[in-house]
Amino acid sequence: MSQQEQPRRPEAHQQTSTQQGQKQPPQSQSREDKAQQGTTTQEQPPQMRQKEPIKYGDLFPVSGELATKPVAPQDAALMQTAENLVLGQTQKGGAAAVMQSAAAPEYCRPAPIAATAPAAALLDQEAVTIGEALEAVAITAGDKPVDQSDAAAIQAAEVRATGMNVTIPGGIAAEAQSAANLNARMTHDEDKTKLSDVLSDATAKLPMDKAVTSEDAEGVISAELRNNPYMATYPGGVAASVAAAARLNQNKQ
């Protein structure tokens, strides 16, 4: 009799079949995982950035504090008044038009003027000050070399802004007078000190400031006329800018 064969172990076969039967479809599992991962890792929409105001340095070739100063609607209005006063109308593509385009979308209301003088010296928070009128000259006539008529007008403006009848050491009047004296000895205009070099940060250089009145404008105009050999004011210059500011303030009353 031959050797008896060992019986098979059916439980092992059944266990293997059961394990194979319990395998999950890999595709359905990965789809669910991807769906969950897509929900948790979805990028949030970026927050809208607040627009930065357009500054004078973005529009005009100016330097100093004026270059970083935002263009406010009241400054654009002052420039428009100055162009209308001096040229008879607002120039297409001129400084006033450029400033109005820059200021309109950036502001809901004019920026308040920082009170560096007693409150009684200001007509209201939106009135144009002497310092701001002088800074406007850096744009309207910034390339003009400083002469004696400019220095006299700037000195008259400084006296009226500060209420002091003396030239402030290191102030805009002293700087303008020094520039006028130096320019008189120079031959080439490109080497001369320009109005923009003196007035681009006039507000910061004035220890006190005040809103421009018609009396202030008359004093500045008179000073510029007396020191001009042709007895005339310069278009867009110191006297014209201060006069435009006075008219703008008067219209607001």
pLDDT in tens, 56-69: 777 776 666 777 87
Q: Is the pTM of this model over 0.75?
A: no
Provide the phi-psi class of 174: left if phi over 0, else alpha when psi is between -120 and 50, else beta: alpha
CB 240 within 8 A of CB 212: no
Sign of the Cα torsion 239, 244, 247, 248 reads: negative
- Token representation of residue 252: 């607001």
pLDDT number for residue 29: 52
The vertex-102 CA angle with 99 and 107, nearest 5°, equals 110
Distance CA 252, CA 193 (A): 35
Residue 37: what pLDDT? 53
Res 85: pLDDT: 57
Q: How far is CA 139 from the centre of its chain?
A: 13
Question: Could you tell me what percent of the chain has a pLDDT over 70?
Answer: 62
How far, in Å, CA of 22 to CA of 83, rounded? 88
Alpha-carbon distance of 235 to 54, in angstroms, equals 26
In the structure encoding, which two tokens stand for residue 116, read together? 């560096």
Going by C-alpha positions, the residue among 247, 214, 218, 253 that lies closest to residue 80 is 247
Best CA proximity match to 128, nearest among 140, 118, 113, 150:
113
Averaged over successive runs of 10 residues, the pLDDT of the chain (253 residues) comes to: 52 49 51 51 49 74 72 74 62 69 54 39 66 92 96 97 91 97 95 95 93 96 95 92 91 76
pLDDT on residue 79? 72
